[in-house]
Chain A
Amino acid sequence: MTDYLPWPLCLTDKYPMTTGNEIMQPDINDAALDYLLARAGLNLTAEQKAELKTVHAGLAAMVERVRKRRGRMAEPAHGYGFAEEDLA
């Protein structure tokens, strides 16, 4: 499925993609990994980082699987559709 938004333009120089189409590039480069870990507040050893890189592709595949063309009104499972009575 390739009808997605491309990798953000502002990141393509620093964190280049292979085709520009994937949401998550299967092979994540070190700088991108460091950024994400820093943002999550996780301190990993070099070994742990290396291991994490190997599973990135699997996760990227999962992220791709849950995406599909949906209208903007498609609610997530938590969304409530309150009836008139509920809002009174």
Chain B
Amino acid sequence: MIARPTLGRLAADLAAGRTTSRALVEEALARISDPTGEGSRVFVKVYTDAARAAAEAQDQLRAAGYAASPLAGLPVSIKDLFDVAGERTLAGSRALDDAPPAKADAPIVARLKAAGAVIVGRTNMTEFAFSGVGINPHYGTPGNPFDRSLIPGGSSAGAPVSVADGMAAVAIGTDTGGSVRIPAALCGLVGFKPTQYRVPRDGATPLSTTLDSIGPIGISVACCALTDAIMAGETADAAAPISPDGLRLGIPQTVMLEDLEAPVAAAFERAVSALSCAGVRITELPLEMLSDYARVNIKGGLPVVEAYAWHEKLIERRGQDYDPRIGTRIARGRDMTAAEYIRLLEARADFIRRFDAETATFDALVMPTVPMTAPPSAAFARDEDYARLNLKLLRNTAIINFLDRCALSLPIEPPGTAPVGLMVVGRHGDDRRLLAIGAGIEETLASERARQ
């Protein structure tokens, strides 16, 4: 859990004249450039001058009564795979350093700017977004705010650290198998993966066109709700919390609870207990069909083959400049035949249908976001450990991308202990309701903590 001001708090401060956009952005830039901090590992590019100018402009607009949204004037970081007009989009790589510059801002970047957000910089990520670990051999690995020797999670590695360390008020990442939710969980922040179709993915370097989604990492559910609304082109508001009393939550008993590290199991049980005491109706759902996921995705699933389709020519030309752990894994996409790909898509449709049928009567599902707390970066030295730990980090979250649903991760660890995330999963397209349920859960768990 990170104690930093929420977007709501900052917006109130700006509106009340207690601070200015220029002051907030200067502070962010100072933290980024502090040599004793993580800035050089969190950001691959900082828009120092542009951010200052934008902050000035936002203060002037506000003074004239033109604050465009609750996000106006606030510093925001974006993952290194979003197009910004006139710049090369490297997506955490070196292999794209001779790519032509982007012609236009990615639509989500444009929407954030139109909402008055001040983009302070591009955050570091796993090269091409292809892991849940967050290690980048080219640009360094941001240290986990809880303990810098631990990984931050990935692939949106810099994003949560930028928020935790006060370098941005909210961060934008992408999530294909968990890349927003995993780093949020491992760093003690809230992360939101929307239903894919809601937020446009043009101008974002793809990993898996079927599974990619774009989502925020922030201090609270309300922060994520507001930012998501702006990126989705919806009315910029945070969903009012839904009372937990009488809410029906299901806990899948297959896969999701296997092999939990002790602090994760303990935090999850305490959270479930607290919700049950608040009147939530908890059901333990067998959901045996979840064990089909591994079998269906045995050749690496959709990301491997779809990434290979995008990378094939680039690998031929610049393969030697890839992070070897990324390059070799993408190359495996060669092994999937067209027939297997088609069958995989069919299997996905069937998987979704069966899951929906078994969970239809529930308001949401809950489970731990990640089965473990952040491991130390040193644990990833050997390739086989990297592979094994990566799969385990992705285990719970990736199933939700496969199910084409929306999901939140909320921090539930006791204060001062290694971060643990609670994942709350909603129905396809029912994002606003999921955010409202998440806000209610967040409130309930906060009161429970306050009581202790």
A and B touching (Cβ–Cβ under 8 A) = no
Q: CB within 8 Å of B: which residues of A?
A: none
Q: CB within 8 Å of A: which residues of B?
A: none
